[in-house]
Amino acid sequence: MAERRTSRRTARAAEGGPPARLAVRKTYKLYLGGAFPRSESGRSYPVTSASGQHLANASLASRKDARDAVVAARKAFGGWSARTAYNRGQVLYRVAEVLEGRRAQFAAQAVAAQGLSPDLADRVVSAAIDRWVYYAGWTDKVAQVLGGANPVAGPYYNHSAPEPTGVVAVLAPQDAPLLGLTSVLAPVIATGNTAVAVTSETAPLAAVDLAEVLATSDLPGGVVNLLTGRVPELAPHLAAHADVNALDLTGAGDLAVELEREAAATLTRVLRPGPEAGGGEEAWLDPDPGTARMTPFLETKTVWHPVGV
């Protein structure tokens, strides 16, 4: 193979043109604890474009990788949830800033990997950037909307405030690898949770490139952990994991009922697939997603205070 490459370069140079340049192939890895390790199993799988052209090889995460991701998310939870809501908003806004700087790359990838038209690809990338800004703005407002002082008949009053539930396992939409992933991931971490996300199996490259955006922003390692691989292999293990506090079944497909059953023994919060699931990137273009994806992963803490005593 090396001889053939050399002969092609020599032939082109003999014709008077510059030597042919070989593209630098990218190695796509997992994103765990702020680092980019290969799967502990050493496995990978081919990723193809919408037309069937080979694009790259992505790491095929194992159950051990999923366990490592949960450990990283749990370790990061204390520090992330303790940050002020305003500071979390600053971090999410920084993600949008970095993503904006790589807009052309993500748009080109959406065209090549998903077969989107250039116009739709641009809309999807713009919406993904705006979605990070949207949830950045909600970080210091959700407590005012969902919390409050409660009237009580007696010499005391109580105050309720939302708190993050913990580690959330997210099954990202299979047919919306960028905007769909952003739409299910950003609200989880905006409210102080940490996340372990299983990305789109057929189109994982946008997620791994998004991991580079997260790693070069101000997001602490372990707050988001991204696994590329097969949902049927990883999801049951995450659903039954005793240290996972909530589960988003958006990308579960036909496994949703089985996974909800697996989660029943350990989880208190399960978000079932919504109407967007299965609709592709266009189904996630709504500019105002509201609070529906933040509230399922919040607990309400109520504190009682005596009055006049």
Residue 299 token pair: 């607990």
Q: Which of 166, 160, 226, 231 is nearest to 194 (CA)?
A: 166
Confidence category of residue 42, pLDDT binned at 50, 70, 90: very high
Beta bridge partners of 44: 59
Residue 129 token pair: 């950037």
Residue 272 token pair: 């079932």
Asked if pLDDT for residue 129 goes beyond 80, the answer is: yes
Asked if pLDDT for residue 3 goes beyond 50, the answer is: no
Q: Is the CB of residue 197 less than 8 Å from the CB of residue 186? A: no
User: To the nearest whole percent, how much of the chain has pLDDT over 70?
Assistant: 94
Query: What digits encode the pLDDT tens for the residues 89-112?
Result: 999 999 999 999 999 999 999 999
Asked if pLDDT for residue 13 goes beyond 90, the answer is: no
Asked if pLDDT for residue 18 goes beyond 80, the answer is: no
- Work out the average pLDDT over 124-131: 97
Asked if pLDDT for residue 39 goes beyond 80, the answer is: yes
Query: What digits encode the pLDDT tens for the residues 185-231?
Result: 999 999 999 999 999 999 999 999 999 999 999 999 999 999 999 99
- Work out the average pLDDT over 45-68: 94
Rounded Cα–Cα distance for residues 295 and 83 (Å): 19
pLDDT score for 23: 77
Average pLDDT score over the chain: 91
Compute CA 305 distance to the chain's CA centroid, rounded to the nearest angstrom.
Answer: 39
Asked if pLDDT for residue 251 goes beyond 60, the answer is: yes
- Work out the average pLDDT over 279-300: 92
pLDDT score for 207: 96
Specify the length of the chain in residues.
Answer: 309
Asked if pLDDT for residue 159 goes beyond 90, the answer is: no
Confidence category of residue 15, pLDDT binned at 50, 70, 90: low
pLDDT score for 56: 92
Asked if pLDDT for residue 1 goes beyond 60, the answer is: no
Q: Is the CB of residue 61 less than 8 Å from the CB of residue 228? A: yes
146/130: higher pLDDT: 130
Rounded Cα–Cα distance for residues 276 and 270 (Å): 17
pLDDT score for 11: 46
- Work out the average pLDDT over 38-56: 92
Confidence category of residue 309, pLDDT binned at 50, 70, 90: low
Residue 235 token pair: 């999801």
Confidence category of residue 277, pLDDT binned at 50, 70, 90: confident
Q: Which of 121, 142, 230, 240 is nearest to 186 (CA)?
A: 142
Averaging pLDDT over each range in 12-16, 128-132, 282-286, which range is the top one? Answer: 128-132
Q: Which of 248, 242, 234 is nearest to 295 (CA)?
A: 248
Q: Which domains does the chain have, with CATH numbers?
A: 44-306 (3.40.605.10)
Q: Is the CB of residue 186 less than 8 Å from the CB of residue 139? A: no
